[in-house]
Amino acid sequence: MDVDWILGCRHRHVHRWRGGAPHPSKGEREMEFRDYEEFWPFYLTQHRKRATRRWHFVGTSFVFLFVIIAIATRNAWWLLGAPIAAYALAWFSHFFIEGNNPATFGHPFWSLRADFRMYRLMLTGQLGRELERMGISEE
């Protein structure tokens, strides 16, 4: 198994801006957006690296798995594992692969919505087309 593929650690440059917009003066989380649709392209710029998106996909898959296990076992404690697994993997990818701060820190609800949207687009093979439509290049 290719460890670089899993970890995406070929390029570890922490805290650098890789978005299409200029670097904000006080940090990414303080950027203002009028609505979710304005936030969506920013969210995609924060997930340019394929490895970052793969870690998000795995984390979000764990959310669904833990919900299914909670329902099947009738044990709500499994629901605690859903956000822990998802955020741990997503934040790992932002800090050590993408080299930025998670958008969750500044926009938690829009980030959650965008994560599920990105998951759906990845699952259906449409994310590449969406990145292209938004004019966002992959790294």
Distance separating alpha carbons of residues 121 and 108, to the nearest angstrom: 20
pLDDT tens, 67-124?
999 999 999 999 999 999 999 999 999 999 999 999 999 999 999 999 999 999 999 9
Nearest to 47 by CA among 101, 98, 2, 121: 98
The identity of residue 106, as a single letter, is G
pTM score, whole prediction: 0.77
